[in-house]
A and B are shown apart, each in its own frame.
Chain A
Amino acid sequence: DIVMTQSPDSLAVSLGERATINCKSSQSVLYNSNNKNYLAWYQHKPGQPPKLLIYWASIRGSGVPDRFSGSGSGTDFTLTISSLQAEDVAVYYCQQYYSTLYTFGQGTKVEIK
Chain B
Amino acid sequence: EAQLVESGGALVQPGGSLRLSCAASGFTFSSYSMNWVRQAPGKGLEWISYISSGTMYYADSVRGRFTISRDNAKNSVYLQMNSLRDEDTAVYYCAREGSGSYFPVWGQGTTVTVSS
Contact = CB atoms under 8 A, between A and B. Distances in A.
Interface of A: 1, 36, 38, 40, 42, 44, 48-52, 55-56, 61-62, 91, 93, 95, 97, 100-107
A52 B103 contact: yes
Interface in B97-116: 98, 100-104, 106-109
A105 B103 contact: no
A38 B100 CA distance: 8
5 contacts: A1-B60, A38-B101, A51-B106, A95-B45, A97-B102
Nearest to B39: A44
Contacts of A61: 104
Contact of B59 (A40, A48, A101): A101
A50 B44 contact: no
Nearest to B46: A104
Contact of B104 (A52, A93, A105): A52
Contacts, number: 62
Nearest to A6: B44
Nearest to B59: A101
A52 B5 CA distance: 18
A95 B63 CA distance: 20
Contact of B100 (A97, A101, A103, A107): A97
A26 to B, nearest CB: 15
Nearest to B106: A49
Contacts of B108: 48-49
Contacts of B102: 40, 52, 55-56, 95, 97
B50 A100 contact: yes
Given A101-B59, A104-B46, A49 B101 contact: no
Given A61-B104, A97-B100, A100-B57, A49 B47 contact: no
B21 interface: no
A44 B109 CA distance: 13
A91 B45 CA distance: 10
B66 interface: no
Most buried by B among A48, A50, A61, A93: A50
